[in-house]
Structures are given as C-alpha cells and as structure tokens.
C-alpha cells in the first residue's frame, strides 16, 4: 500500500487529492515538465504579437473564461461523448483565459490553489464528509 493510499484511507487527505494524484496525473505525463510561468509567457507573447492586450481587460477575460467553460460543458450536453481533440481544445481555452486573468490581476495561481485547498480541507474534513455530497455548512 502506498503512503498516499494510507493517508487517504485514514482520512488525512481528501478523496479528490487522492484520486488526482494516483489516477489522473499518471494519465498526463507531460504536465510535470511544464510550468504555469511557461504558459503565462506563451500567452503574453501570443497576445502581444497580435496587439490584443488592450482587449484583454480583466472583465473581458473573465467573460471569455466563462464562455469557454460553457463551451466545455456543451461538449457533454445531452449525454454526448466529446472527441478527445474537442475536449483538449476546450480545456486549453479555459486554461488560456484562466492563466491570462490571473496574470493580469497579479494572482499567483499556485499560491491561490494551495490556499483554497487548505480551506476545502478544513470545510470538508475527510472523516466527516466521505461519501456525502452535502455542502460544508450542513455538517456539524
């Protein structure tokens, strides 16, 4: 039994982290070689080369992010199974605008993610919520 599995079973890490690390990440081997900074640089260069910076105001980027997330959701509408290429394209579009928005607002995505996961771990202690879909404020 792996140390991570032991921590999952004893409730010291939430299920989503356990499943992410042991099941999802091995399916994406190239993610470990890329960094958010590399993506930020590539996005900034793409926008600058086209002189689109003036259009990428935070409110507009947030709207574009929402639209792209909706396009991702649309792929599954009516129980459809999206093609791998369509799914990858929409996920990449969401990531593009998420990283662009964070960069424009001076948000360190890694730090923000870690802080949010700490909040989630407090709100949803594994020992209390395992197997339940209730919102955090409905637990004692």
**Cα 44 to Cα 19, 40, 97, distances in angstroms:** 33, 6, 11
Out of 3.30.450.40, 1.10.287.1080, 1.10.3720.10, 3.40.50.261, the CATH code matching 34-127 is 1.10.287.1080
Q: What is the pTM of this model?
A: 0.73
Confidence of residue 28 (pLDDT cuts 50, 70, 90): very low
C-alpha closest to that of 110 among 118, 48, 19, 69 = 118
Does residue 20 carry a pLDDT above 60?
Answer: no
CA-CA distance, 140 to 124, in Å (whole number)?
11
Residue 30 contacts residue 92 (beta carbons within 8 Å): no
Q: pLDDT tens-digit profile of 30-46?
A: 566 678 999 999 999 99
> Could you state, in order of their start, the residue ranges of all structural domains in the chain?
1-33, 34-127
Q: Please give the mean pLDDT across all residues of the chain.
A: 84
Tell me the average pLDDT across 50-63: 97
């Amino acid at each position: 039994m792996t140390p991570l599995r032991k921590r999952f079973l004893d409730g010291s890490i939430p299920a989503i982290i356990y499943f992410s690390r042991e099941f999802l990440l091995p399916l994406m081997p190239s993610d470990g070689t890329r960094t958010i900074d590399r993506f930020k640089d590539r996005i900034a260069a793409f926008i600058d080369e086209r002189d689109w910076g003036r259009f990428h105001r935070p409110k507009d980027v947030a709207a574009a992010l929402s639209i792209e997330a909706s396009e991702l959701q649309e792929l599954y509408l009516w129980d459809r199974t999206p093609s791998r290429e369509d799914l990858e394209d929409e996920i990449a579009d969401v990531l593009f605008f998420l990283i662009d928005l964070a960069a424009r607002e001076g948000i360190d995505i890694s730090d923000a993610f870690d802080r949010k996961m700490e909040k989630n771990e407090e709100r949803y202690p594994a020992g209390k919520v395992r197997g339940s879909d209730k919102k955090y404020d409905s637990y004692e």
